[in-house]
Structure 1
Amino acid sequence: MFRTAKTALAALASTFTALLALQVQAAAAPAAAATQQRQDLLLSVRGEGRPVLMIPGLNSAASVWDETCTRLQPGVRCLMVQLPGFAGQAPLASPEGFLEQIKGQLQTLLKQEAPQGATVVGHSLGGVLGLMLAADNAGASVRQLVVVDSLPFLPGIQNPAATVEQVKPMAEGMRTGMRNAPSEGLRAQLTPMMAGMTRAPERVETLVQWGLASDRPTTAQAMYELWTTDLRPLLPRIQVPTTVLGSWAAYERMGSTQASTRAIFARQYAGLPGLDLQMSAQGYHFLMWDDASLVLGAVKKALAAN
């Protein structure tokens, strides 16, 4: 138990960062899906009906959404995207400006696959991309948004008054360290940390495998951009129904409570009109596995509003 709220917040920020930096996906055997290369994205399409764009997080594979997609059937057309550089997918030619590059490619994909708009579901880094798409909703490509355990400004967990300029030196050091870290021992680092990302021990080895398969320069650049991108000023632009799902169970052992964790999310999303904020009392970072009913319910509610 931490002795001060400041210490608890610092630990929460450190753990949340570790979860983002090391998150990888444990894939169940995927059902048959049509797979297509779309620019640098690998798109898997399953089902027929209302389109749902599913964006995975840092180092994750598209199949992180397999179980969610299966439980949404019938009547839903899942558009599951594999982001470049993660979980074995070929990286971008240059990772600089990773978030903006991927946002542009996702906008193009939505225009092609869902010209009338789609429900967008994003986990972690995928949630950040979902917020970016909704804030720049040209052509009304995003009709509803579900954000799974993601924040608009990661450093704000520890210091709500922090600015991008203040955190850049730290973020640059983190990026350099991630790029230059030796490969030896990476498995040993990943394995014990996976227990903090999901309650399912049987997924841990697959999580490690996906982490080892991710492109290190891509991961380092994406983490740098997550730390130096503040989407809070853009939140008032988001005019579509938005549900944010947060986890706190993984941080309970560090002295955090559901109320204190919820307060962090509420503070960060204060500028988002009509926010529906829900906290999982049982899930760790991968809520689509640990609290599947919560995620499924949020997506079904978004679809019902269409």
Structure 2
Amino acid sequence: MTALLRPFCAALLTSATLFTTAPIASASAPTLLVADNPAAAHPNFTVRVVGKGQPMLLIPGLTCPGAVWDETVAHYQKQYQYHIISINGFGGTAAPASTENLLQNVRDQLLTYVKTQHLHKPVVVGHSLGGFLALWMSTTQPDAVGPLVIVDSLPFLSAVQNPMLTAEAAKPMAEGVRQQVGRGHMDAATARQMSASLMTDTARIRLATRWSVASDPATVSQAMYDMYTTDLRLDVARIQQPVLVLGAWAAYKAYGSTKESTRAIFEQQYAKLPQHRIEMSEAGKHFLMWDDTQWFLAQSDAFLKQYAVAKK
């Protein structure tokens, strides 16, 4: 299993090689997501609200602003009220004043947002780092949120190649990544190479590359450290709501993975999660909502409709 999912890890574990002390490339400005209302701004994220209906939180992954969910919003905005999250410091958004306990603070502020906005059991959809945050929100306050859609994310990324790894044992590696990534901005050429390993569409590769280059190194490095050293594999047993986990494997063939072997890693990490279903995309890379859009929407549709019927 040690050879499996290396590109999945590479999306984060080798991101340190993408950073340099060279100036930020000045080509195209990244797409910025601005809160509709100043009241929606929080110390570590901003929110854009779109549509009407049942509330749904959309949380992006590392270096991405909320605009990564534009196609999803277009599909569902007549059925849901979207609360589109952009984590400060990602994709050209203003960096937070402090990165101390970054992901824990984002988690707590998201839960506070759900409470203060009176969002009743919102659906939470998260990609990669955003999926990890969705799981962490639910393990922290199981009654606060509704069903979860987790897009190519795991409860403990650091343990992909060594299931016996503990959060404590992961700290030296995580600290090394934090120091190296935090030293400078991402190199555009190498960032594009990494983006191409995570998605297929050329225009989206360009967009993701701009977001990566424009992201704040201190924020990115702390987010990586926090995720590498937080193990939710046992904590997911507290999650009370149904969870749909969507996984990718096709990009990892060169590393010896198969659909079955990749799925086995997902099953192992989510073993303690009471109500979950794991589905694997046949062709999509890490950005499944971009790479296998129709499959992603069909899986989400079926899951959310089933949940709505169950709630009635």
Whether TM-score is above 0.5 comes out as yes
| Structure 2 counterpart of 1:174 | 177
Moved more, 11-20 or 285-294: 11-20
Change in CA separation of 1:215 and 1:16 when aligned onto 2, cut-off 3 Å: closer
Cα separation, 1, equivalents of 2:66 and 2:5:
31
Contact 2:7–2:197 (Cα < 8 Å) also in 1: no
Cα separation, 2, equivalents of 1:210 and 1:30:
9
**RMSD of aligned residue pairs (Cα, Å):** 2.5
Change in CA separation of 1:127 and 1:11 when aligned onto 2, cut-off 3 Å: closer
Contact 1:30–1:66 (Cα < 8 Å) also in 2: no
Contact 2:126–2:133 (Cα < 8 Å) also in 1: yes
| Structure 2 counterpart of 1:152 | 155
| Structure 2 counterpart of 1:277 | 278
Cα separation, 2, equivalents of 1:90 and 1:284:
29
Change in CA separation of 1:210 and 1:46 when aligned onto 2, cut-off 3 Å: same
Contact 1:47–1:77 (Cα < 8 Å) also in 2: yes
1:17 corresponds to which of 1, 7, 12: 12
Tell me if 1:51 matches 2:55.
Answer: yes
Cα separation, 1, equivalents of 2:92 and 2:120:
32
Q: CA deviation at 1:19?
A: 8.0
Q: How does 1:91-130 map to 2 (within 5 A)?
A: 91-130=95-134
Contact 2:239–2:273 (Cα < 8 Å) also in 1: yes
Change in CA separation of 1:120 and 1:97 when aligned onto 2, cut-off 3 Å: same
Cα deviations across residues 223-277 of structure 1 (Å, max 9, x unaligned)?
0111111011201100101011110111012211000100110000000012110
Secondary structure class of the residue paired with 1:159:
coil
Q: Which runs of 5 or more residues in structure 2 are unaligned?
A: 19-28
Cα separation, 2, equivalents of 1:278 and 1:194:
23
Contact 1:28–1:66 (Cα < 8 Å) also in 2: no
Change in CA separation of 1:127 and 1:31 when aligned onto 2, cut-off 3 Å: closer
| Structure 1 counterpart of 2:232 | 231
| Structure 1 counterpart of 2:85 | 81
Amino acid at match of 1:48: K
Change in CA separation of 1:269 and 1:255 when aligned onto 2, cut-off 3 Å: same
2:164 corresponds to which of 161, 164, 180: 161
Cα separation, 1, equivalents of 2:7 and 2:92:
29
Contact 2:50–2:82 (Cα < 8 Å) also in 1: yes
**TM-score, L = length of structure 2:** 0.87
Q: Which runs of 5 or more residues in structure 1 are unaligned?
A: none
Q: What fraction of aligned residue pairs are identical, expressed as a percent?
A: 41
Q: How many residues end up aligned between the 2 structures? A: 294
Tell me if 1:198 matches 2:224.
Answer: no
Contact 1:72–1:296 (Cα < 8 Å) also in 2: no
Contact 2:47–2:86 (Cα < 8 Å) also in 1: yes
Cα deviations across residues 52-92 of structure 1 (Å, max 9, x unaligned)?
11000111010111110111131211110111111111222
Contact 2:63–2:220 (Cα < 8 Å) also in 1: yes
Secondary structure class of the residue paired with 1:142:
coil
Cα separation, 2, equivalents of 1:278 and 1:83:
27
Tell me if 1:42 matches 2:43.
Answer: no
Contact 2:123–2:147 (Cα < 8 Å) also in 1: yes
Contact 1:152–1:231 (Cα < 8 Å) also in 2: yes
Secondary structure class of the residue paired with 1:54:
strand
Secondary structure class of the residue paired with 1:253:
helix
Contact 1:56–1:126 (Cα < 8 Å) also in 2: yes
Amino acid at match of 1:156: A
**TM-score, L = length of structure 1:** 0.89
| Structure 2 counterpart of 1:244 | 245
Q: CA deviation at 1:35?
A: 5.0
Change in CA separation of 1:145 and 1:301 when aligned onto 2, cut-off 3 Å: same
Cα deviations across residues 115-139 of structure 1 (Å, max 9, x unaligned)?
322100011110011001111226x
Q: CA deviation at 1:180?
A: 2.0
Moved more, 46-55 or 69-78: 69-78
